[in-house]
Amino acid sequence: MFEKLQISDRRERWAVGLGDAGLAVAMAALRPFGGQRPAAHPPRRILLLRLERIGDLLMARPAIAAVRRLVPDATIDLVVGSWNEPIARLLEEVDRVETLDARWLARGAPAPGFASLLARARAWRPTRYDLAINFEGDIRSHLLMACSGASSRAGFDMAGGGPLLTCRVPYDPTRHVADNLLRLVEHALDVPRGSLQRTEERLKVPPEARARAESLLAGGGQGVPGPRRTGAEPERPLSIGIQVGGGRVVKQWDPARFGVLAARLAERYPVQIVFTGSADDRRLVAAALAHVPTHVPVVDVCGQVDLPTLAALLERFAVFITGDTGPMHLAAAVATPLVAIFGPSDPRRWGPLSSTARIVRSDVACGPCNQIRRPPARCSDALADCLAAIDVDQVLEAVEQQLAARTGAAVETPDGRG
């Protein structure tokens, strides 16, 4: 029973399913007294919810752009977590951005309780939204959308909250997130199914962010040890970015392998290595740096830059090497050549929106398991089998292919080898 719910834990699936049954009864009882306001066609005021992390917002970009193309004269408001506000404000398709931090997405950061979130959602009612689209598949954010008073409410029903929607859309777990979101927009705006196709939407990076990025690369970054960049070294023509941190333990490739990879790239090519990440990634970067000779030019910007500046840095990289992370999606959004190391997550569902990205993954029997939030016990606090099976040579080959594609020919190494 409740098999349509895409919830792996049986008890949780039953709890959500029973909750949906109760919601259905309540909504049916309230319907005669609801006084539902008819929606304008086409909608004049649209509310979009995308409360999750940076990669989730960027994977929604084609759908957000499609909404703007389909209803060019509508006012579009976007609600995101505060962590995504700097990127959301760069989206030209959106008229207004509001932040709302859900505790279940805040990853330990301070966030208001659910009652406060409901009060915020009720405060949206005076706007009189004709249409609200929830790009999350979560019963809690469906409830926030219902509190908004929007005449039409579209969303996925695979994780509960279906009775709160006026337009229920099935979620296909075999397809990419971006494609599912486009199908959701097709239903919400009643356009022919399959008419919206995924596009690579280039993010517009502000000039001031580019200036900060240029200063960081020219000056060696902040807090970088002197021997790493002396100022007397010759200019290096290529910057290669490396995101050591995986965001979650289960998606974390061995930091030592990142370091060995950086060292081997510096042996073969005239490059500087730029380590990106949050302040929490510094320990991982230190583990990688232990394998990088001190003469290799290194710029460490972990915890030093905001998201627009990170986007500007990514624009300047000859290639960016990362796991399945938010910066991976940001690199795709600014058309940076990518090498993405995938472990338990399926790139067919969560891969970067880039036609030129190179994915490195293993073919272990258990992968991709897609058990990111609840990984198998053996992968919870150690290198996951699917990532352990990826060696430095595999990633190095993919990086060299990207460098060759960038120049249109084999990149010359210091000893003249192509």
pLDDT tens for 29-61 read: 656 555 566 677 899 999 999 999 999 999 999
| Contacts of range 372-378, beta carbons closer than 8 Å, 24 or more positions apart | 372/248, 372/250, 372/251, 372/344, 372/345, 374/8, 374/9, 375/249, 375/250, 375/344
Return averaged pLDDT per consecutive 10 residues of the chain, 418 residues in all: 70 73 69 62 95 96 97 98 96 97 85 94 96 94 94 91 92 95 97 93 95 88 41 63 94 96 96 95 96 95 96 97 97 97 95 96 89 79 89 97 78 49
pLDDT value at position 223? 37
Q: What confidence score (pLDDT) does residue 228 get? A: 47
Q: Output phi, psi for 167, to 5 deg.
A: -135, 100
Whether the domain at 10-188 and the domain at 207-407 fall into the same CATH topology: yes
DSSP one-letter string for 38-71? PPPSS-SEEEEEE-S-HHHHHHTHHHHHHHHHHS
pLDDT number for residue 13: 73
Residue written as tokens 């009864």? 25
Write down the pLDDT at residue 237: 61
pLDDT (0 to 100) of residue 9: 73
The reported pLDDT for the residue numbered 25 is 73
Looking at domain 207-407, which CATH architecture does it have?
Answer: 3-Layer(aba) Sandwich (3.40)
Per-residue pLDDT tens for 54-90?
999 999 999 999 999 999 999 999 999 999 999 999 9
Neighbour tally for 240: CB within 10 Å: 24
Domain boundaries, the chain: 10-188, 207-407
User: Domain 10-188 class?
Assistant: alpha beta
